[in-house]
Amino acid sequence: MGYHFQWSVIWQNWDLFLEGVILTIEITAVATVLGLVIGMAMAGLQLMKNRVLNAIIQAYIEIIRNTPFLVQLFFVYFGLPTLGIKLPATQAALIALTINIGAYATEIVRAGIEAISKGQIEAGRSLGLSGLQIFLYIIIKPALMTVYPALTSQFILIMLNTAVISVISAKELAYQAKYLQSRTFRNFEIYFFITLLYLCLAYMFRFSFGVIGKLAFGKARMN
């Protein structure tokens, strides 16, 4: 075949891969938390049945779900500076990821809310609970429990989507691989290795979400 593998390029540059893995984990974790908060807030606001507010939320969801994440990323990083808002690559990537996952989380949480029995909500009202109390104590936890598997799958996809942010030079895992490949030309070794790293990260997140689900909802939602 004529190609001589040189796996030493991996061990000699472990610090670059570690830096990329750490940033990938950090940006995924923060975007996941912020996106979930957005999703719960938006889904809760939709319960108010305000036509104008619902139209704005639905427009946000439709725009994000029907445009490529790469375009959203470019808009934040290259488009906002036109308005005088210039962001570092990592911050721009975090904002784009958060906005993206927020739209998907809103739809997922909304589906969970719609699965809640109206009788439970009426029971809360009969007990004199406020709308916020009903949302916090009767609606949101059962809704999250119902859609938790779908949410965790979406969050893992976000982790994999972090590879896209390398195009704006955010120094996550894919960027470090591209940087190292351009200097060593060891394409197979480098991309084979980061494939394994992404696979390990995906299983790590799946395990972590499983533990969180078990703690929050009990064994029934551990998967």
For residue 85, give the CATH number of its domain. Answer: 1.10.3720.10
Domain housing 209 = 8-221
Q: Is 191 inside any structural domain?
A: yes
Q: Is 2 inside any structural domain?
A: no
The model's pLDDT over 59-94, given as tens digits with 9 standing for 90+, comes to 999 999 999 999 999 999 999 999 999 999 999 999
Q: Provide the percentage of residues in the chain whose pLDDT is more than 90.
A: 72
Cα gap 155→100, rounded to integer Å: 11
Q: Is 198 inside any structural domain?
A: yes
CA 38, chain centre distance (Å): 11
Q: Which of 11, 18, 55, 23 is nearest to 170 (CA)?
A: 23
Calculate the dihedral angle through the C-alpha atoms of 33, 38, 39, 44, rounding to the nearest 10 degrees.
Answer: 130
Q: Is 1 inside any structural domain?
A: no
Query: What is the pLDDT, as a whole number, of residue 114?
Result: 86
Quickly count: other Cβ atoms within 10 Å of residue 8's Cβ. 10
Q: Which of 162, 207, 208, 151 is nearest to 36 (CA)?
A: 151
The model's pLDDT over 118-165, given as tens digits with 9 standing for 90+, comes to 888 788 888 888 777 888 778 888 888 899 999 999 999 999 989 999
Average pLDDT, the chain: 90
Q: Is 3 inside any structural domain?
A: no
The reported pTM is 0.88
- Domain total of the chain: 1
Q: Is 155 inside any structural domain?
A: yes
